[in-house]
Structure 1
C-alpha cells in the first residue's frame, strides 16, 4: 500500500457508464420480457488520491444513470469515501420523498458499492476484511438459466441446458418456470430433475407470475422433485400472500430481489413471510444496507441468499458480501449461503474484469485483492459503453 499524503480523502468525481451488448439467442422468463441485449449502469468514483472505486446499479440502465447523475452524484462529490454510512443516510434522506424503493435505492446501491471499493483499495484489503472477515475462502455457485427460448422445445431445451451445467461441475441449478400451464411447468421441472439426478440441487424461479392459489397448487405438484426453493412465486408487494404460500408448502419459499432497504425487509422477516430472503446488493442498498438486512434476517431465523444479475462488478461485490455472511445457522456440517451465477451469455460478466470471476466444479474462490477484488478492463468498458 502506498503512503498517503493526507486525511481525509475526498471524492472528486462520480461518473456513470451505461454498457450494453447484444444477446446471441434472445430469451425470456415468466415476466414476458424478451431479452435481446444485456445492459447495466456502472458507477465510477474518483478521489483526490488517485484511487478509483466501482459499483453497479440493478435495473434499467438509462433511468439509473439519470438518477445517479442528477440526484445523487452532486451530494457525494467532496465527501470522504470512508464515511459510507454517513453518505448512505444522506442520500436516502434526499430521495425518500420521491420513492422508498426502486431506482433511487438502486442508484444509492451503486454509489455505496463504489465507496466501499475505494476504501478497500485505499487500505489494500478486500471488502470482506472490512465488514467482519471471510467465513469462507470459497463459495458454492448455483447456475441460473433454463429460460424460455425455443417455444417448441420447452422441456427438451431445459433438460439439455441442465445437463450442460451438471457436466461443467455445478452442484446446484436454478430454472425458470411460469409457462402459463401448471401441468407443463410441473412436467418441465420433473424432466430436469430426472436428467440431473438426485445429487444436484435444483431450485425454481417464477419471477412472481402466479396468484396465491396457483402458486400453492403448482408448489404441491413440484414438491416431489426435491427442490431447494420456490423463488418469487407471487407478486413482491403481496407479503401476506407470501405468508400463505410459505405456510402451505413443504419446501422453502424464497424472494426479495424486488425489495429494498431494511425497512422493506422488516415485515417480511418479522412475519417469516419467506424462508429465504434474496436482497440484491446492487438494488437493495449496497454493502451498507445489505449488512443490516442480513442481520435482520438472522435475528428472525430467516436465511439470506443474495440475488445477483449483471456485470462482473456486481458479481464480484456479491462474492465479497457472501464471504462475510455467517453460516445459517452454524452447524458441524453447515449449509452456507450460495452464489447466484447467472449463465446466459454475457460479455459484461465474462470480459469486463481483467481476471473474471469463474467457477471450477461449482466452486468460486473469494478474491483477496483489494476492494471488490477485480480490476476493470477499460478497453472492454470502452467497447461496450453506449453512454
Structure 2
C-alpha cells in the first residue's frame, strides 16, 4: 500500500471473563488481604488495517478491574482510527494522551497494552514473521518454570505430584508459593519438594509481597539452604530500597517487578539495585513497546529478565532478549486460543507462525460479556 494511505479502519474490543477450574489461593488470601481467585478478566483487541490485514492483542486483570479496563479502552480507542498501524510508538503515545488524566500506570496503561500487542501482531503478520523474529530472536527456545501447580491451596501430597508432572511434561523449573502466616509450613513444603525433585532441579519461591523487612531477611536466610534460583516478591511491590537491602544481604537472588505498571517504576528498581531478576509483565506495563524499554534498561544494568504470566505473548519477547531469560508456564490462558505452546527438555519452544501465532477459540468468544466496535469514516 502506498505510503500515507495505510490506516487503522476498524477496532473491536471484547470483555472476556475466563473462569478458573478451581479457586486459587496464594499468600495474599491466607493473610486475609484477598479472596480466592475464581476468574480472570481479559481485554481482547482486534485491529483491522485498510488492506484487510489484522492483529490480535490482549491484556488482563485479576480479581477486580475488568469492567474499568474495558471502559477505559472503549473511551480511548477512537484515537487510533485513521492512524498508520505501523507507527506503533506514535499510536502508544496517542492512546496515553487520550487518557492522560487517568494516570500513567494501573488500569489506564494496562488498557493500552491490548492495543499495542495487537499492532505488533499485525506488523509481524504482515511481514510473514513470528513476533520473535520480527524483534530479532536470540534463541528458538526459552527455559521455563511452572507456577500454577504450586499455589498454597494445594495440599502437600498434590504439590509433589504437580511438580513431578510438570517435569515430565518438559518444564524445567518449579516455583512454589510461600508467605503463609506460619513460616514453618512454608519451610516444610519447600523442603519436601526439594527432597523429591533433587538438588539439580531449578526451584523458586514467591511470597507475593506478604513479608515485612525483618521477616523477609529471616526467611531468606533459612531458604539459603535450598539453593533457590530466586525469592520472588518478598516485600511490598513498590519497596525498591527494601528489595535492594535483601539483594545485598542474601546469596539467593531477589526477583520482582510483576506488579509494576510503568517504565518509570521499573527504572526505580533498576537504579536502586532492587532486583537480580526483573519480572516485567507486558500487558501490565502497557504492551510490547514499553516492555522493550524496560528490557533494554535491565540489560544495561546486568539484570536477567523473567517476564510474568501470559506465556503466549512473553515467549516471543523472551526469545528476543540478549541475556538468557526465564518464561513462566501458566496454562490458565490456554482456553482462549486454538494454539498450544510446545515444551521440550526444560524449555518452551518459540512458535514460528506469523505474529503471536494465536487465534481466538470458540470458547473465548463464548465467554465474551461485552463488545465495542469502532470504524473509521469512509
- After TM superposition, is the score higher than 0.5? yes
SS of the residue corresponding to residue 87 of structure 1 reads helix
Which of 128, 133, 138 is the aligned partner of 1:135?
A: 138
Residues 325, 337 of structure 1: 8 Å contact kept: yes
Where does residue 68 of structure 2 map in the other structure? 63
1:202 matches 2:186 = no
- Are 1:30 and 2:12 an aligned pair? no
| Secondary structure, aligned partner of 1:386 | strand
- TM-score (normalised: structure 2): 0.90
Match of 1:117 in 2: 121
Give the alignment of 1:272-283 within 5 angstroms.
272-283=273-284
The answer for the alignment partner of 2:183 in structure 1 is 182
Q: CA deviation at 1:107?
A: 1.0
Query: Which has the larger displacement, 162-171 or 190-199?
Result: 162-171
SS in structure 1 opposite 2:307?
coil
Deviation at 1:178, TM superposition (A): 1.5
Q: How does 1:228-243 map to 2 (within 5 A)?
A: 228-243=229-244
Equivalences, count: 361
Return the alpha-carbon distance in structure 2 between the equivalents of residues 48 and 61 of structure 1: 30
Cα distance change of structure 1 residues 55 and 227 upon mapping to structure 2, 3 Å threshold? same
1:249-269 CA distances to partner (integer Å, 9 max, x unpaired)?
Answer: 111100001112321111211
User: Any runs of at least 4 consecutive aligned residues in structure 1 with deviations exceeding 4 A, and if so which?
Assistant: 4-7
Q: Residue by residue, what CA displacement relative to the aligned partner does 1:92-150 show, whole Å, maximum 9, x if unpaired?
A: 2333432221111111111111111111122222222332x110011122111211225
The answer for the alignment partner of 1:12 in structure 2 is 9
Distance in 2, matches of 1:365 and 1:15, equals 30
In the superposition, relative to structure 1, how do residues 374 and 22 fare at CA in structure 2: closer, same or farther (>3 Å)? closer
Tell me by how many angstroms 1:5 deviates.
7.1
- Which position in structure 1 is the counterpart of 2:99? 95
Name the SS for the 2:67 alignment partner: helix
Q: In 1, distance between residues paired with 2:20 and 2:134?
A: 36
**Contact between 2:77 and 2:95, CA under 8 Å: does it hold in 1?**
no
Question: Residues 141 and 171 of structure 1 are in contact (CA less than 8 Å); yes or no, is this contact kept in structure 2?
Answer: yes
What whole-Å deviation, never above 9, does each CA across 1:317-361 have from its counterpart, x for those lacking one? 21111111112xxxxxxxx10111114xx3xx2233222223234
Query: Would the aligned equivalents of 2:143 and 2:348 in 1 still touch at CA under 8 Å?
Result: yes
**Could you tell me which residue of structure 2 aligns to residue 54 of structure 1?**
56
**Quick one: distance in 1 between partners of 2:177 and 2:276?**
19
TM-score by length of 1: 0.88
**Partners of 2:81 and 2:340 in 1: how far apart?**
30
Asked whether the equivalents of residues 358 and 364 of structure 1 are also in contact (C-alpha less than 8 Å), the reply is: yes
Partners of 1:270 and 1:202 lie apart in 2 by: 27
- In 1, Cα distance between the equivalents of 2:84 and 2:244? 42
Conservation of the 8 A alpha-carbon contact between 2:285 and 2:291: yes
In structure 1, C-alpha distance between the alignment counterparts of 2:364 and 2:6, rounded to whole Å: 26
SS at match of 1:23: strand
Distance 1:157 1:231, change over 3 A: same
Question: Contact conserved, 1:350 with 1:357, CA < 8 A, in 2?
Answer: no
Distance 1:192 1:64 in 2: 38
Equivalence for 1:148: 152
Alignment of 1:272-351 (within 5 A): 272-309=273-310, 315-327=311-323, 336-343=324-331, 346=332, 349-351=333-335
Distance 1:187 1:306 in 2: 28
Return the offset for 1:52.
1.6
Retained in 1: the 8 A contact 2:41–2:60? no
- Mapped partners of 1:24, 1:317: distance in 2: 22
Gaps of 5+ in 2: 30-34, 371-378
Question: Using the alignment, how far apart are the partners of 2:47 and 2:152 within structure 1?
Answer: 37
Confirm or deny: 8 A CA contact 2:256 2:279 kept in the other structure.
yes
Cα pair 2:80 2:94 within 8 Å, conserved: no
Contact preservation (8 Å) 1:253, 1:275:
yes
Distance 2:4 2:179 in 1: 54
1:165 corresponds to 2:166: yes
